[in-house]
């Protein structure tokens, strides 16, 4: 990713500005990949050095309108740091719930794609039938639908994630991934989305799918458990996606 230009705002650290630029890029990548639902999903990132705060979109902006400076800074109690910003209440519930339960989470991504929402209608809907599924299957958590924007749902999501798992199927809802890095969270979401797409295709065929042998599934899980926590996980793919978004000509680093 290209170097971020420094925003001339008093009191903002270089780390926060860099995170703002990277998270704004996530929104433009999601727009490019058609992972949008008008203004109604949200991506966030924890601010380095300020673990009780995170950045999220200014509610009302389309993903291709988001810039680094338009992102909203919040704390885990729902307080907004700054003026003139709006946030989605359900978004705050989801993201704060994840960050409270998972200190390792530095980025949280949530979508309502057709494939993800489709699989969310089926309990334990992902099966070991594609190599894409093997990328995430050992890391998948299923979370029951709750009342949006409530303390109860915030706590329930935290409980679902407390035992591990960074690829979440929110039943009757959509998908969520978390990562130790922004690149890692994006890579997880890409592979989870692919797995859901292929699962839906398989369920529409007249033939039963070919299941991958259990011992191969186990070896894939062991490999992925080592790979996903690495700092370089997903970085080449993420950098390529950012270059692709940059070629569209919009400067979100402002």
What pLDDT sits at residue 159?
A: 95
Quote the number of domains for the chain.
1
What pLDDT sits at residue 11?
A: 75
* Tokens read off for 212: 């991958």
186, 242 contact by CB (below 8 A)? no
What pLDDT sits at residue 149?
A: 87
E strand or H helix that includes residue 113? none
Q: Is residue 2 part of a domain?
A: no
Q: Is residue 249 part of a domain?
A: no
Which CATH number characterizes residue 226's domain?
3.40.225.10
CA angle 160/187/13 to nearest 5° reads 85
80, 19 contact by CB (below 8 A)? no
Alpha-carbon distance of 182 to 165, in angstroms, equals: 16
pLDDT in tens, 127-171: 999 999 999 999 999 999 999 989 999 999 999 999 899 999 999
Mention every residue, 6+ apart, whose C-beta is less than 8 A from residue 158.
Answer: 97, 98, 100, 101
Q: Is residue 107 part of a domain?
A: yes
**Which structural domain, as residue segments, surrounds residue 122?**
14-242
Which residues of the chain are modeled with pLDDT < 70?
1-10, 84
**Strand runs labelled E in the chain:** 42-47, 50-56, 72-75, 80-81, 107-111, 140-143, 167-170, 174-179
What pLDDT sits at residue 8?
A: 42
């Amino acid at each position: 990713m290209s170097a971020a230009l420094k925003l001339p705002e008093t009191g903002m650290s270089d780390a926060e500005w860099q995170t703002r630029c990277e998270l704004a890029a996530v929104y433009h990548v999601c727009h490019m990949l058609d992972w949008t639902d008008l203004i109604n999903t949200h991506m966030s990132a924890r601010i380095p050095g300020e673990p009780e705060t995170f950045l999220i979109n200014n509610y009302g902006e389309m993903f291709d309108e988001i810039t680094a400076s338009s992102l909203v800074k919040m704390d885990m109690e729902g307080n907004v740091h700054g003026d003139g910003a709006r946030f989605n209440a359900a978004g705050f519930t989801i993201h704060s719930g994840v960050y409270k339960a998972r200190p390792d989470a530095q980025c949280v991504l949530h979508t309502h794609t057709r494939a993800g929402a489709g699989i969310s209608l089926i309990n334990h809907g992902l099966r070991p039938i594609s190599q894409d599924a093997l990328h995430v299957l050992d890391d998948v958590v299923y979370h029951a639908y709750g009342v949006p924007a409530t303390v109860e749902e915030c706590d329930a999501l935290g409980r679902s994630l407390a035992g591990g798992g960074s690829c979440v199927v929110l039943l009757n809802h959509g998908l969520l991934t978390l990562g130790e890095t922004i690149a890692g969270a994006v890579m997880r979401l890409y592979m989870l989305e692919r797995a859901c797409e292929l699962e839906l295709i398989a369920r529409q065929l007249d033939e039963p799918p070919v299941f991958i042998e259990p011992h191969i599934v186990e070896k894939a899980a062991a490999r992925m458990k080592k790979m996903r926590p690495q700092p370089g996980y997903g970085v080449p793919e993420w950098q390529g996606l950012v270059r692709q978004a940059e070629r569209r000509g919009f400067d979100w680093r402002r």
